Amino acid sequence: MPNRHIDDITALSEADEPLAGHLLRVAAQVAAQEGLATPDRGFRVLVNYGDEGGLVVHHLHVHVLGGRKMGWPPG
C-alpha cells in the first residue's frame, strides 16, 4: 500500500527511484506467480499517462499483461 500519493509517472522525482524500481520488481513477482515469467510465455508491464495514453486512475500504478501473444506496435 502506498504511503503517499504520486499522480502519474511524470510526477516521479529522483528521490522516487527506489519506489519505481520496487514497482517493477513487484510486477515481475506478480508475473512469476501467474506463470507468465517463463521463456516460452512472457508478459508486458505497462504504465499509462494522460487521456490519450489511457490513464483513468490518477495514481501511479503498473499493469501486468500476459496470457496471450502480445503484438507490436501496441495499441
| Residue 43 structural domain | 9-66
Residues with a catalytic annotation lie at 61
Within a domain: 47: yes
> Do the domain assignments include residue 62?
yes
* pTM confidence score: 0.87
Instruction: Give the helix/strand (H/E) hosting 26.
Output: helix 17-33
Q: How confident is the model at residue 2 (pLDDT cuts 50, 70, 90)?
A: low
Instruction: Count the domains in the chain.
Output: 1
The rounded distance, in Å, linking the Cα atoms of 62 and 39 is 22
Q: How confident is the model at residue 44 (pLDDT cuts 50, 70, 90)?
A: very high
pLDDT at 3: 76
> How crowded is residue 43: how many other Cβ atoms within 10 Å of its Cβ?
21
59: in domain: yes
Would you state the pLDDT for residue 1?
A: 56
CATH code for position 20: 3.30.428.10
